[in-house]
Amino acid sequence: MLQHNASARRGRYDESLRDILNIQAADESRVWLSTWDGLNAGPTPLWDLPDLAARLGVGSISLKDEGHRSPLGSFKALGAPIALIRLIRRLWPEQDFVPAKLTAGHYKAQLQDFTVISATDGNHGRALAAAARSIGCRCVIVLHRHVNDERRLAIEHLGGQIVQIDGNYDESVKEAARQAEEHGWHVVSDTSYEGYETIPRDVMQGYGTIAAETIEQGGEGPYTHVFIQGGVGGLAAGVVSYLAERFGERRPLCVIVEPGEADCLFQSALRGQAAHATGSVDSIMAGLACGETSPLAWRFLAILADCFMTIPDDAAIEAMRILAVGAERDVPIVAGESGAAGLAGLIQASSSAEDRAALGLNERSNVLLLNTEGATAPALYEQLAGFRADEVLKAQRRRLSA
């Protein structure tokens, strides 16, 4: 299902938005992240998929592969560390903590009694736990009933203390806020709510790294369309704001993709304000199974996202399999269930003459996709994709070395 955003604007990046998210702060975050050993060196791959482009009737498809971002396997490794660094520097301005020394554990003795907490669908909590371990502070993660056990164990392996609740993601956000208030801890969340925007802003600023690298790798302004995963909206806001500031009226047409059962951004577009999902908020796309739009992210998407669409779970699974198999000229790619959502949205739109016309998709379209995660739950990935992740990666390496 496709919904146009009548309020979307092109042209000069709005000054009120630049005061919140801007290229200067995003590039500063990128420099700080470059010193953290929790990330793999260099930019993530930007794959060209010519056979898939021909199959879908577009000029080109480029896929930015965040599964290679770090051992954590997702783009979330860009947001949580930056938010934690900036929080600590704000709390102790007199200490003048150096970001590179923070992530190297130089101040562990001073921060060992400092505790952060967050709710998560898996990837954000894992990234926060990893950053907290490097910095030397304590980390508590609230998990809801739908979080896969593999993701829970990965967080525990990184030293995160788990609090499990019998509710959904939105209820885990409320529980994290309650526990922080009770114990004097600090919430480091990737979603905003009333009275809580500074840290989600910092998280979103970290995601600007994805846009910056893509521009450097793909050339100046080659993309006509970008399909971005929804969730609470933070990733989309972080990426499209960077593109809007950089390219202005030449920015790509932005399409937000989310599960049909977790359609909070789609509903926000219908209502013209941050809204709740109308479905069960239960989806195989765990990282996108969010019921409440981040009000801060919506400020950006309300005028920078051109269209919103929902997809069924089966579409994401099929997209995982397509990427895993590759093609004669397309490298095989490990994409988790949320990571494949952008491609699933493109496939769905490409199969409808009405949607193609509405989006201006044709043989001259240059489409950017984001693979937001690799196999962050390996057993689940194998079950859904029909391949082991290591098999797909071996095939990828063979293709690159041929």
Query: For the domain that residue 305 is a member of, what is the CATH number?
Result: 3.40.50.1100
Q: Which domain holds residue 55?
A: 2-73+207-401
Q: Average pLDDT for residues 30-54, to the nearest whole number?
A: 96
**How far is residue 60's CA from residue 364's CA, in Å, rounded to a whole number?**
8
Residues 156 and 248 in one domain: no
Confidence band for 219, pLDDT divided at 50, 70 and 90: low
Q: What is the pLDDT of residue 147?
A: 84
Q: Average pLDDT for residues 328-353, to the nearest whole number?
A: 97
Residues 178 and 103 in one domain: yes
Residues 218 and 304 in one domain: yes
Residues 37 and 86 in one domain: no
Mean of all residue pLDDT scores within the chain: 95
Residues 221 and 271 in one domain: yes
Residues 49 and 119 in one domain: no
- What does each C-alpha distance from 385 to 8, 140, 328, 341 come to in angstroms? 36, 32, 19, 13
Within a domain: residue 35?
Answer: yes
Within a domain: residue 200?
Answer: no
Q: What is the pLDDT of residue 319?
A: 98
What single letter denotes the amino acid at residue 394? K
Q: What is the pLDDT of residue 168?
A: 85
User: Which listed residue (14, 37, 101, 121) is catalytic?
Assistant: 121
Q: Average pLDDT for residues 384-400, to the nearest whole number?
A: 96
Residues 51 and 19 in one domain: yes
Q: What is the pLDDT of residue 402?
A: 76
Taking only the tens place, the pLDDT of each residue in 99-152 is: 999 999 999 999 999 999 999 888 899 999 999 999 999 999 999 887 888 889
Let me know if 121 is a catalytic residue: yes
Confidence band for 170, pLDDT divided at 50, 70 and 90: confident
Q: What is the pLDDT of residue 221?
A: 59
Within a domain: residue 162?
Answer: yes
Residues 397 and 296 in one domain: yes
Within a domain: residue 256?
Answer: yes
Helix (H) or strand (E) run with residue 168 in it: none
125, 155, 189: which is the final residue of a domain?
A: 189
Within a domain: residue 164?
Answer: yes
Residues 234 and 341 in one domain: yes
Q: What percent of the chain has pLDDT over 70?
A: 99
pTM: 0.94
User: Which listed residue (19, 27, 37, 76) is catalytic?
Assistant: 76
Radius of gyration of the chain from Cα atoms? 20
Half-sphere exposure of 154 (CA within 13 A, CB side): 24
Q: What is the pLDDT of residue 169?
A: 84
Q: Report the number of distinct structural domains present in the chain.
A: 2
Within a domain: residue 194?
Answer: no
For the chain, give the number of residues. 402
Q: What is the pLDDT of residue 220?
A: 58
Helix (H) or strand (E) run with residue 370 in it: strand 366-371
Let me know if 76 is a catalytic residue: yes
209 or 281: which leads in pLDDT: 209
Q: What is the pLDDT of residue 148?
A: 81
189, 215, 233: which is the final residue of a domain?
A: 189
Scored b (16 or more CB within 10 A) or e, 164-175 reads: eeebbbbbbbeb
Lowest mean pLDDT among 112-126, 334-348, 352-366: 112-126
189, 217, 249: which is the final residue of a domain?
A: 189
Question: Do residues 233 and 254 touch, judged by C-beta distance below 8 A?
Answer: no
